Chain A
Amino acid sequence: MRKVAVIGAGMTLFRRRLMETPKELCFEATRMALDSAGIELKDVDAVISGSAPDGFDGVHMKGEYYSDGCGAYGKPYMRVFVGGGTGVFSAISGWYHIASGLADIALVVNEEKMSSCQPHPQSVFAHIWDPILDRPLKPNLIWIFAMEMNRYMTVHKIKKEDIALVAVKNKRNAVDHPCAQLADPNITVDDVLNSEVLAWPVQRLDISPPSDGAAALVMASEDAVKRLHVETPVWMKGVGWCIDSTMWTDRDLYFPEYVARAAKMAYKMAKIDNPRKQIDFAEPYDPFDYKELHHMEGLLLAKKGEAPIMTREGVTQRDGDLPTCPSGGLLGVGNPIAATMGVKIGELYWQLSGQAGKRQIPHEIKTGVTNAWGDLMQYGAVAVMGV
């Protein structure tokens, strides 16, 4: 199997970006990634993009619309879309473009512009339900995540305080991230517990904010890495992806089996049989604070119900034994759905290549894992990266 590395990355400020079009956001991240890799567009063989619902931007086939912003003009170009899982899956797509032998250097650009959706991007989520079984109930995404959080807390007897620790850790970590939208150096567990209740047990500070932004990666084959004399390539060691049934009402929500299956697929490829020992740090997908814990268990980094205990004991702090979301995650940096590639795959690249600056994990790290999660609590995309 051809080896594939990430050799450059870029991401924009995560904010409400009213002044920029989706094309411009793509351009900004693409330019940064190309500069970071020290290459030009003419060196790129194929372009992959990822973006979540077209409804956010209000543009049908938005991947076609913003393609020139991604530098796809006159090139093989493909957009992938697996809901929130797109933040990691598009990098997996970049991987198979190169591992297949069809491309030597690929550019992966993820974009999201949620602010153009008025009055709130939640209105797009009114259209994600089964039109016969779910939609007439007028459900809302926060409600079903509240059900999942509740189930997780009930099965393992987890206290809200322990879950709030995740929000506190990530929003504090984000202070060191230049793109962060919701960093807060002084946030406490009480702040989270006293924030507005949206749908019990979900409170405002348990959730990452909607955002606009873009992120980009340059990926390259082993030959290209040698040819370009890349000093710090970060290799894609394993990839896995998995979707569960659309019928979310039919499964026990306390454990994300689809994440576990995607993780096992990635670990098998990366030849990892004891993830807790062989993985040095993780960027689990954290649009809600409980999701970081849920995903640590799905990624087999913690036993079922053990992730809150690890968090309480400080294991997941940046200087802990298994740092999680050293970037600040979605909770701290922001959640422009597909563009969170910058805080997931991007952070793994920056940490493993020693470019994370103030966010750099203080001890030696060799292998990291990340996942993205999406659709109706049903998609797992997992990538293991290493030096």
Chain B
Amino acid sequence: MAGIYGNQRTFLCTSSFPSREHEDLEDKGGISLKVGIIGIGIAGFRTTTPELSWKELTYEAAAKAYQDAGVDPRKDVKAFVTCAEDYWEGFGIFDEFTPDQIGGALRPVCTVCGDGIHGLATGFMQIQTGLVDVVAVEAHSKISDLLTYEGVVQHALDPIWNKPLRGHPFYVAGLEMNAFLRASGNTEKHCAAVVEKNRNNAMRNGIAAYGANVDLNDILTSEKAFDPLKKLEISGLADGAVVLVLASDVAAKKLKRKPVWIKGVGWANDSPSLETREWERAKYAELAAQMAYRLAKVKNPAREIDFAEVDDRFSYKELQHLESLGLAKKGQAGKMTANGDTALDGKFPVNASGGSLGCGDVVEASGLHRVAEVALQLRGDAGKRQLDGVKVGIAQSWRGIPTTSGAVAIMGVNQ
């Protein structure tokens, strides 16, 4: 193994990234992958769910996923993974509250402080070791319980250098959008086209909380929020839960399920400090993709992958992420969007689900929802937004302001 991201330099600029070459491992051509998704459960998404606790939301998603997978969680599921952060949940130690609603009491359960795709990667690794064969991965949002969203995000800033500056931390997104647009040549109009597409796509998605028939003009004339970011370019928050059941090839066969195969996973962090990160590019996404492409043996992502669900918490993020993942050439993602190439009927559909802009920002569940959407599309279960003849899809996540943490999963109908 030549470093976890491999040593292929064909499509991404990685000059600053260290590489190691160990011939003995390189010869083996990587590891054999054997994990698939056999159950999908989604609860929500809604802007508020006052009649439900986070436990009840998660229970609903878990029950759906276990039914879909045809498994008894108390017998067949060997380990459980939750994705959560204390401050989102309003608890001192949220891990305490993870087991009961997913059937995990007195069983191996762990919490990952990461996005749903970090959780997916954890379940994937646990199965790859051979120690367990079926793992349930859960992520949820009960963000409507949080009365002080701005204050919580402020607490994620460096307590010495940045937090004392005050202000709503989304100013970081405004600054980044500015840097990205200037460096890439994409425009504010391109960004607005992302919002138009995603919120209209969401009209076809039963779980979406923010589906709307908005047009370019509505978006471009909406109130400036964090210049140049406008109000309609920011995803609204939503409650919801997603549970996926992963299984090894052997277990899937035994359970008589046809899995959507996980062909690659990758995750990475860039610099956490605002002062030393590269503002114009999403390096975390570049590195995460490089790792996932290496595992999936993808050489030319734009050609080999049929569609994508990428992070779009802010409009420009979809464009930045498409370019970072090598799915659009540098500076071309905006034109692709404006031309309709990333529309439902385009050459390369992006965020057919409606993305975060259309479905809602479900914090740590965002990535797992993107994975669920890719899996539904690959199974042909995406209803009114079903894409034709898709065989390989990619899901990508980002942990939001102010992080530089992201993850990628590649899925396919063939192992």
Residues of A within 8 A of B (CB): 1-2, 21, 42-43, 45-46, 52-55, 57-61, 63-68, 72-83, 89, 93, 95-97, 99-104, 124-128, 130-131, 223, 227, 239-247, 257-258, 261-262, 265, 269, 374-376, 378-379
Contacts and interface: CB of A to CB of B under 8 A. Distances in A.
Interface string B103-126: 011111111111000100110111
Nearest to B104: A243
B20 interface: yes
A294 to B, nearest CB: 17
13 contacts: A42-B18, A43-B20, A59-B159, A61-B85, A61-B156, A64-B399, A65-B272, A74-B283, A83-B95, A99-B131, A128-B93, A227-B22, A265-B108
Contacts of B390: none
B269 A21 contact: no
Most buried by B among A223, A227, A246, A265: A246
A65 B108 contact: no
Interface of B: 1, 3-4, 16-18, 20, 22, 24-25, 30-31, 85-87, 90-100, 104-114, 118, 121-122, 124-126, 128-131, 152-153, 155-156, 158-160, 265-273, 283, 287-288, 291, 295, 399, 403-405
A73 B403 CA distance: 12
A42 B159 CA distance: 29
Given A96-B125, A100-B125, A247-B100, A53 B86 contact: yes
A60 B153 contact: yes
A55 B86 contact: yes
A89 B108 CA distance: 11
Nearest to B273: A68
A386 to B, nearest CB: 17
A74 B25 contact: no
A242 B110 CA distance: 8
Contacts of A55: 86, 92
Contacts of A130: 97
Contacts of B268: 74-77
Contacts of A246: 96-100
B169 to A, nearest CB: 10
A60 B268 CA distance: 19
Given A82-B111, A103-B4, A257-B106, A61 B130 contact: no
A198 to B, nearest CB: 19
A99 B95 contact: no
Nearest to A106: B4
A25 to B, nearest CB: 14
Nearest to A86: B95
A78 B110 contact: no
Contacts of B269: 64, 67, 72-77
Nearest to A2: B129
Given A100-B126, A257-B106, 8 more contacts: A53-B92, A78-B267, A96-B129, A103-B4, A223-B24, A244-B105, A247-B100, A375-B96
B74 to A, nearest CB: 13
Contact of B114 (A1, A79, A101): A79
A55 B85 CA distance: 11
Given A74-B283, A102-B4, A104-B22, A125 B156 contact: no
A61 B95 contact: no
A126 B92 contact: yes
Contacts of B112: 78-81
A55 B152 CA distance: 11
A79 B3 CA distance: 20
B315 to A, nearest CB: 23
Chain A interface SS verdict (over half): mixed
A223 B25 contact: yes
Contact of B155 (A60, A63, A80, A265): A60
Most buried by A among B16, B97, B113, B160: B113
A61 B113 contact: yes
A60 B100 contact: no
Contact of A241 (B17, B108, B113, B272): B108
Contact of B160 (A21, A53, A97, A240): A21
B288 to A, nearest CB: 8
A79 B113 contact: yes
A140 to B, nearest CB: 12
A68 B271 contact: yes
Contact of B272 (A64, A247, A269): A64
Contacts of A21: 160
A247 B48 CA distance: 27
Contacts of B95: 81-83, 243, 374-375, 379
Contacts of A72: 269
Contacts of B93: 52-53, 81, 83, 128, 374-376
B131 A102 contact: no
A77 B118 CA distance: 9
A304 to B, nearest CB: 18
Most buried by A among B4, B114, B295, B403: B4
Nearest to B84: A81
B103 to A, nearest CB: 11
B87 A89 contact: no
Given A61-B399, A67-B269, A269-B131, A245 B99 contact: yes
Given A242-B106, A261-B106, A74 B270 contact: yes
A81 B108 contact: no
B399 A76 contact: no
B125 A124 contact: no
B156 A64 contact: yes
Contacts of A79: 112-114
Contacts of B122: 78, 93, 96
A117 to B, nearest CB: 10
B131 A104 contact: no
B155 A59 contact: yes
Given A45-B3, A64-B399, A227-B22, A76 B90 contact: no
B6 to A, nearest CB: 11
Contacts of B30: 101
Contact of A78 (B85, B121, B160): B121
